[in-house]
Amino acid sequence: MMPMSTPTRLAVCPGSFDPLTNGHIDIIERSARLFDRVIVAVLVNAEKRPLFEMPDRVAMIREALAHLPNIEIESFEGLLAEFVRSRSARAVVRGLRSTTEFNDEWQMAQMNRRLAPDVETVFLVPAPDVAYVSSRLVKDIARLGGPLEGLVPPGVAARLSRRKTEGPRT
Ligand code: PNS
């Protein structure tokens, strides 16, 4: 009898990652343990101007996640549902930090299901020590010269301090 091949369980971890935080890392590491392969999908923000350009955001993720053999990093534009379908992934993973976040995430999951009915959204709960970390707060702390240790990986902290010494982008 021919052996049945097990399908690869592929998930997409989407986000702006502007920049990557230890909260993101926690969720990506958990995803990499649950799924065979994980694509970290970095949104090309068409509307809001990100602090870091795409090559920098990707480089920071690549550096910080070099220890995970089953992840890939890609940028994407347009609908997440389309991107997920184009890669034949079956799941979208999102970290759920709080009940406040739940409403927006629930709406997004329902909308993505409407757009791609075969794709499931999987919510993962972050480790408590990073559950309050967000890219927005990290950028604020960096701008005001506060300590970044424990919030972002060293490569991100270095880029944030460099950005601060260079002054704001016009
Ligand atoms: O890190 P973020 O900013 O919380 O990630 C949000 C992201 C990238 C997951 C979301 O904005 C997204 O999926 N954008 C792509 C456009 C899209 O599909 N919009 C409809 C969502 S229902």
The answer to whether 122 and 91 have CB atoms below 8 angstroms apart is yes
Q: Ligand 1: distance of its center to the CA of 37 in Å?
A: 20
Quote the tokens at residue 3: 């052996």
Residues 6+ apart with CB under 8 A from 51: 18, 19, 139, 163, 169
The predicted model scores a pTM of 0.94
Ligand 1 pocket, Cβ-based, cut-off 6 angstroms: 14-16, 43, 79-81, 108, 111-112
With 0-12 CB in 10 A as exposed, 13-18 as middle and 19+ as buried, what is 37? middle
pLDDT in tens, the chain (170 residues): 666 777 789 999 999 999 999 999 999 999 999 999 999 999 998 677 899 999 999 999 999 999 999 999 999 999 999 999 999 999 999 999 999 999 999 999 999 999 999 999 999 999 999 999 999 999 999 999 999 999 999 999 999 999 876 755 54
For the CA atoms of 45, 50, 56, 62, what is the dihedral angle to 10 degrees? -60
Q: What's the CA gap between 42 and 57, in Å, rounded?
A: 8
CB 45 within 8 A of CB 18: yes
**Cα separation, 96 vs 84, whole angstroms:** 20
Q: Which atom of ligand 1 is nearest to the CA of 108?
A: 22
Report the separation in Å between the CA atom of 28 and the middle of ligand 1, taken as the mean of its atom positions: 16
Q: What is the pLDDT of residue 3?
A: 64
